[in-house]
A and B are shown apart, each in its own frame.
Chain A
Amino acid sequence: MTHEYPGRVRRRTILVGTVLSLIVVAALIALTTWLRIEGRGVALPAPAEPDVAAPGALVCPDPSTLPSNRLVEITAGELIDCPDVFDGRGVIYSGEVIEAVFERGGRPVAVLNDDDYALGPGPLPQTRTALGGNSGMTVLLPAGFADQITHTGSYARRGDLVRVTGTFTAASGMLGGEPAIDASAAEITQPGEQITHRVSARTVLAALLAMATAGGATWLAQRDPDSRRHRRQSR
């Protein structure tokens, strides 16, 4: 870097500065962790790391082992990982209606999530438990079924849980090549609900304190363009 400026910095000062910076970062993490735990009930566990034996590998069933004349209960992960195995096959699939129901070619279309938030304890804002990412599948629902859907999943709502019976298509011509289940029958197995959220008093208090500190710091920074420190430097 430049050496034109006066003011040699000792190595010890640099090391102390580095350690102080790391302490500030650690304090930031500790503070935000403390704010997050309050009133949440369940501590957020880190999701399990993948199977180290074969991470990223596709695990598909042998098509000959699948019953040819029976519907297969299936997950979105299996359908996406093994499209050739399940293409054109009758399937049973359950999932939570997410965000919106569209209409394509006179049929309602929705993404149904079948992850742990949908089929397990519930959405993260409700349970405060991290269970990994979302997984879902597009479903062409029977005509007129959209009227029965009252809740779509979002921050404010847990969506209706729908169980469909239909045929999986790896590339649906009706949806421009999207993998989808063409449902011949559908039923709502669990109606959705509003999620109640409560404001964390600790977060509000911390925010108000931080606002006061920010106001004070701004006043100090802006009160005098030629601050006392700068005048001292000039002298």
Chain B
Amino acid sequence: MATSLFRPAREDYRLVGLYLARVLTVVGLVMVVPALLGFALGEPDPAWQFVFGAALTLTVGQVGEWRLKGRGELSHSHGMVIAGFAWLVAPLFGAVPLFLSGHFASFLDAYFDAMSGFATAGLTVINDLDHLPDTVNLWRHMMQFVGGQGLVLVVLVLFAPGGGATTMYVGEAREERILPSVLSTARFIGRVSVRWLAIAGPVLVAVLLAAGLRPWDAIFHGATLFMAAFSTGGFAPTTASVGFYHSAWVEAVLAVVMVGGATSFGVHYLLWQRRRRAVAEHLEVRTFVVLLVGFTAIALIGLWRTGAYADVTSLLRRGGFYLLSAQTTTGFATVPSRTLVADWGTLAPAMVVTAMMIGAMSGSTGGGIKTIRVGLALKGLRREMRRVFQPSHALTVESYRAGRTQPLRPQVLEPALMVLLGFLILYAFGGLVGMFYGYPFDQAFFESTSSGATVGLSVGLTGPSLPVGLKLTYILQMWMGRLELVAAFAVFGFGYTSLRGRP
């Protein structure tokens, strides 16, 4: 087939390779932390596995740095391709210590969990999580924290390039530069995360201590839960997830952290500047709040009708936390996964799926279509409806507030609608594959949406016995969902032009 696309040049491959090597260097350095913890905790076997994993990853990263170093500026396409490949390559090396731990039946399973970690999904196919070394458990949560901050963003902070840095940043599903430069934006995001850790971390440890955990366990669980909550990841140190603690206070603190993680860093910046009115009028904030309240209310009505909970406190606590976990795309659970199928009827799970589909705010650590796109689509719909009732020559203008008042332009609305449509196709694809494997419609679509929106809630399908084809499908969905499709398409395009492009 003839094509007018150009094949990438040697310089393109070099630049992509160099930045991927830098991503691996960061992953290798982060892996040193669990290695040190392993020795400190008296878990030498997993500690050595992490030493091996870190050294191997650093070797590949540094060989790449040595062989590929040179001058050359990153273009828009480079940034997209690097961001896309980075999220495939980092889990490959992140999976090494997971696989060595023996808790995964195959390397594919370890890769599944590593992708789930970096993509901040939270779905897992691990065997015997409840007897996992703390060292490995910490790594699972650190992958989520690094993934939530943005893998490429971390590289930007360390290597601070110019040029295509912006597109690497955008490729990682962050549309909004909060400060004039990407580097200053990246540093601001780091500052926000550290401040949340400094405030919410000790509070979480305190409530875990009050719940009855031993001091070290409270510190460890507090640290891992914070990382999972703020990165809207959803991994937890035990199989029972947040339900393990049987504590409303733990759930309440985590709820606040989850909302913090699901909030756009642009909104965090407005809060930082004490522009409360701008926050209250922000389209994304309003859409998020309205949808969250609406979905939760409908789900609670559904739960009340099924009679799953006899008292209002139980209804609000179980239903409210679950819906918040779905909307923020965190994936923490306080009810067993099969309960949704067995005891929650149809309306409440349907609201959970809808909340997962839309997800968190753009430019946050969360996933899904993002509330700004839904807000813009609804504004566009309103404009079209108004147009119907107005004279044909009348000019219909719709505006929205996102920091400042902006008119709704086609350049803004069209990409939002395209990504929204792309996500719906992604969810449908996974659902169809699930049905191909014989799972019921509702369960197949629940799990597919959870992986595509990088949520991590499950109705019990995802586990070590998940068919290989579905594991591959969910890996693809988590990857594409985390990148909000665009950088994934850049990778496909790069592969296509490499093989079929004009020299």
Contact = CB atoms under 8 A, between A and B. Distances in A.
Interface stretch (A62-70, A160-168, A183-191, A198-206): A198-206
A91 interface: no
Interface stretch (B334-342, B357-365, B413-421): B334-342
B10 A207 contact: no
Given A100-B217, A197-B44, 15 more contacts: A2-B75, A5-B72, A9-B503, A49-B465, A53-B438, A56-B461, A100-B214, A123-B128, A133-B128, A134-B129, A153-B130, A155-B43, A176-B314, A195-B131, A207-B48
Nearest to A113: B130
B238 interface: yes
Interface of B: 6-13, 28, 43-45, 48-49, 51-52, 54-56, 58-59, 61-63, 65-67, 69-72, 75, 77-78, 81, 92, 96, 99-100, 102-107, 125-134, 211-214, 217, 237-240, 243-248, 308-311, 313-315, 317-318, 334-336, 338-339, 341-343, 437-440, 443-444, 459-461, 463-465, 467, 494, 497-499, 501, 503
Contacts of A131: 127-128
A111 B244 contact: yes
Contact of A1 (B77, B212, B463): B77
Contact of A130 (B11, B71, B127, B214): B127
Interface of A: 1-11, 14-15, 17, 25, 28-29, 32-33, 35-36, 40, 44-50, 52-58, 77, 80-84, 98-104, 109, 111, 113, 115, 117, 123-125, 128, 130-136, 138, 153-155, 158, 170-171, 173, 175-179, 195, 197-200, 203-204, 206-207, 210-211, 213-214, 217-218, 220-222, 225, 227, 229-230, 233
A134 B364 CA distance: 32
Given A36-B100, A171-B309, A179-B339, A218 B62 contact: yes
Which 4 interchain pairs have the tightest Cβ spacing? A177-B314, A7-B10, A210-B55, A5-B11
Contacts of B343: 83-84, 170
A227 B69 contact: yes
Contacts, number: 301
B45 A198 contact: yes
B443 A199 contact: no
B9 A7 contact: yes
Contacts of A82: 342
A26 B103 CA distance: 20
27 contacts: A1-B9, A1-B77, A1-B78, A1-B497, A3-B9, A7-B9, A25-B92, A84-B343, A99-B130, A100-B217, A102-B245, A130-B103, A132-B463, A133-B126, A134-B239, A136-B130, A136-B240, A153-B130, A176-B314, A178-B335, A200-B45, A203-B48, A210-B51, A210-B55, A213-B59, A214-B56, A221-B69
